[in-house]
Amino acid sequence: MEIGPTLTTERLILRPPAHEDFDGFASMAQEEDTMRFIGGVAPRDAAWRGMAALAGAWALLGYSMFSVLRRDTGEWIGRLGPWRPGGKEGSWPGDEVGWGLKRAAMGQGFAQEGATAAIDWAFDHLGWDRVIHCIDKQNAPSIALALRLGSRLERENHQLAPPFETHKVDIYGQSKAEWKARRR
């Protein structure tokens, strides 16, 4: 039984997190530079809880972040996709597609390739009108990716709800019409 879809791109497979991904999640959670803007480094037990919450969100909401695997090697390289903890009734600032890859997988266009597939899927299956990305002001690589995806800065210094209440993010985004026009 699947809790969510499997998407295939030129170089990647996107599917809901599974138990065999845990070593990948746990090792990425130890990468200080990778985790700096996405919650900070975390020990194995916290990494497991984070992965489990992604899987649980799939079951509760029908969407959540995907595990990202390389098609050529099968290797787990990160997680990305639709993210809105609490759903529409929650305090998240909107319908997000977020991304985070482990260090060794950065700089090869994987995040853009995966995020593009995830945004396509979200607009086609989740009834979203807009997509946003919550990004730390100092996270230059992610800001550059948001801009490459066609999103624009919409709101600055948005304060997230607990457990990230000490954290402010800038919100980038675009409408479904804008996305579809660019993808034609």
Q: Residue numbers of the site for other proteins (CB under 8 A)?
A: 1-3, 15-20, 22, 43-45, 47-49, 51-60, 85-87, 89-91, 161-163
Measured from the CB atom, is 45 or 72 closer to other proteins? 45
CB 17 → other proteins: shortest distance, Å? 8
CB 45 → other proteins: shortest distance, Å? 4
CB 42 → other proteins: shortest distance, Å? 11
Measured from the CB atom, is 15 or 176 closer to other proteins? 15
Measured from the CB atom, is 60 or 106 closer to other proteins? 60
CB 119 → other proteins: shortest distance, Å? 22
* DSSP letter string, the chain: --SS--EE-SSEEEE---GGGHHHHHHHTT-HHHHTTTT----HHHHHHHHHHHHHHHHHHS--PEEEEETTT--EEEEEEEE-TTGGGSSSSS-EEEEEE-GGGTTSSHHHHHHHHHHHHHHHHS--SEEEEEE-TT-HHHHHHHHHTT-EEEEEEEEPPTTSTT-EEEEEEEEHHHHHHHH-
